[in-house]
Homo-oligomer: A and B are copies of this chain.
């Protein structure tokens, strides 16, 4: 009765979690209790043992693991006290129905809104259920089969040449980036790109970098960690204010010209040219964060700023919005004079991105899978945007939406009667709908008593968008 067959009978979820518990027996005796508890807790938290699964009896599990029965009893009691398990006389022990499969409390993963129907419109996440699992798996198999043995050695810190060629082609074709593969550096995303540039510019004597206000607070934190002061420079309707930039003292500026985050504006042609004039005159550098440049819905894409003057613009992008942020794969296209410094920083940071991941992405791009994925997301996100805009029009008449031509979020300005903003946000939070105000991003150029919201919609299926707007409207009317 104590063989492995017994415990497997308690359910498929249990079988899958079984091997998580195996390290218990191998641990030194005095640590076994702790190892077992932590492994069991993790199996429940991660969803590898589903809610409702009945666990084997303490006697069975102890025999299977080759540990004392008291150890298992203790673990069951501890996890019951913590709420992961439930016990009833005669009915055994099972996984509590109140445990939601998720990362442990305090983990960043909790912030991923995609899986949580109550999280609402927090911006920044694509729909992770659109990730092309089958195609990705097939590309992994092909890339691994094709990679020569030497391709498993220490990577080139610049990135796999095959991927740099593929990315250069992709960016040139889709975004009008002038990308010589020799100037492409593969990195782990836009965040790392900013850190690399901050460090490289620091070596050249830069002490400050201008950032957009409103803008992404995260970039400011990254620059600070790289030893660079972030100087907020205000926007107007055409983009970053060039006079304020000139007065800032910074010789580098970080921009989101295709779809400013969070305001959603696209920089005007005149403003682009003014900023490039500044960069040339100041021997400066513009850093183009093309975080959602892949998604544009109603008109021809605005080409990348970098294409206008590759010597004065560094361009950064990633697969975080088109595939998944968890892949940690991105690229940086830098002016020739900065390549060596950036690559040396990449080298001392991590010696280069994982080789096989890079071969996989190269495969995925060159076979056309990446373009297919972009088309698929583009269709889904355009529909969601339309649904959100329509729902706001219906439930919040008079709302002004902007920044809707591209990206994964819009700006909504609700009429004054829904304010004050703080009270509105409190009612939304009580209704369980996550919302972030424009003011949270360091400034609101059109502050006029209306409620200004940055609403991410890409992660929400249309029906959930309608439902969440409905909840908001009910809450706003005090129901």
Binding site for B on A (CB under 8 A): 16, 19-20, 22-23, 26-28, 31, 35, 38-39, 42, 45-48, 101-104, 107-109, 111-112, 114-115, 125, 128-129, 131, 133, 136-137, 140-141, 144-146, 148-157, 161-162, 165-166, 168-170, 172-173, 178, 181, 187-189, 191-192, 195, 221-222, 225-226, 324-329, 344-345, 348-357, 366-368
Contact of A161 among B107, B156, B226, B357 (CB under 8 A): B107
Q: Does the CB pair B27–A169 fall under 8 Å?
A: yes
Q: How far is the CB of A165 from chain B (nearest CB, A)?
A: 5
Give 8 A-B pairs besides A39-B169, A154-B326 with Cβ atoms closer than 8 angstroms. A35-B172, A109-B154, A125-B153, A128-B152, A137-B144, A191-B350, A192-B349, A354-B357
Q: How far is the CB of A23 from chain B (nearest CB, A)?
A: 3
Contact of A325 among B23, B152, B166, B181 (CB under 8 A): B152
Alpha-carbon separation in the docked complex, A328 to B159 (Å):
13
Alpha-carbon separation in the docked complex, A416 to B107 (Å):
61
- Pairs A–B under 8 Å by Cβ, sample size 16: A20-B162, A22-B169, A23-B166, A26-B169, A28-B172, A35-B169, A45-B161, A108-B154, A109-B153, A137-B141, A152-B324, A152-B327, A191-B350, A192-B351, A327-B356, A354-B357
Task: Give A111's nearest chain B residue, CB to CB.
Answer: B154
A48 proximity list for chain B (CB < 8 A): 146
Q: Does the CB pair B326–A115 fall under 8 Å?
A: no
Q: Does the CB pair A352–B366 fall under 8 Å?
A: no
Q: How far is the CB of A204 from chain B (nearest CB, A)?
A: 15
A173 proximity list for chain B (CB < 8 A): 23, 26-27
A327 proximity list for chain B (CB < 8 A): 152, 354-356
Q: Does the CB pair A328–B27 fall under 8 Å?
A: no
Q: How far is the CB of A14 from chain B (nearest CB, A)?
A: 14
Contact of A349 among B148, B195, B325 (CB under 8 A): B195
Task: Give A166's nearest chain B residue, CB to CB.
Answer: B23
Q: Does the CB pair B354–A354 fall under 8 Å?
A: yes
A28 proximity list for chain B (CB < 8 A): 172
Alpha-carbon separation in the docked complex, A324 to B155 (Å):
10
Alpha-carbon separation in the docked complex, A340 to B98 (Å):
29
Q: Does the CB pair A351–B189 fall under 8 Å?
A: yes
Task: Give A223's nearest chain B residue, CB to CB.
Answer: B348
A144 proximity list for chain B (CB < 8 A): 133, 136-137
Q: How far is the CB of A235 from chain B (nearest CB, A)?
A: 25
Contacts A103-B156, A154-B325, A324-B153; is A351 near B26 (CB within 8 Å)? no
Alpha-carbon separation in the docked complex, A172 to B36 (Å):
13
Task: Give A47's nearest chain B residue, CB to CB.
Answer: B148
Q: Does the CB pair B348–A221 fall under 8 Å?
A: yes
A345 proximity list for chain B (CB < 8 A): 225
Contacts A133-B145, A137-B140; is A150 near B114 (CB within 8 Å)? yes
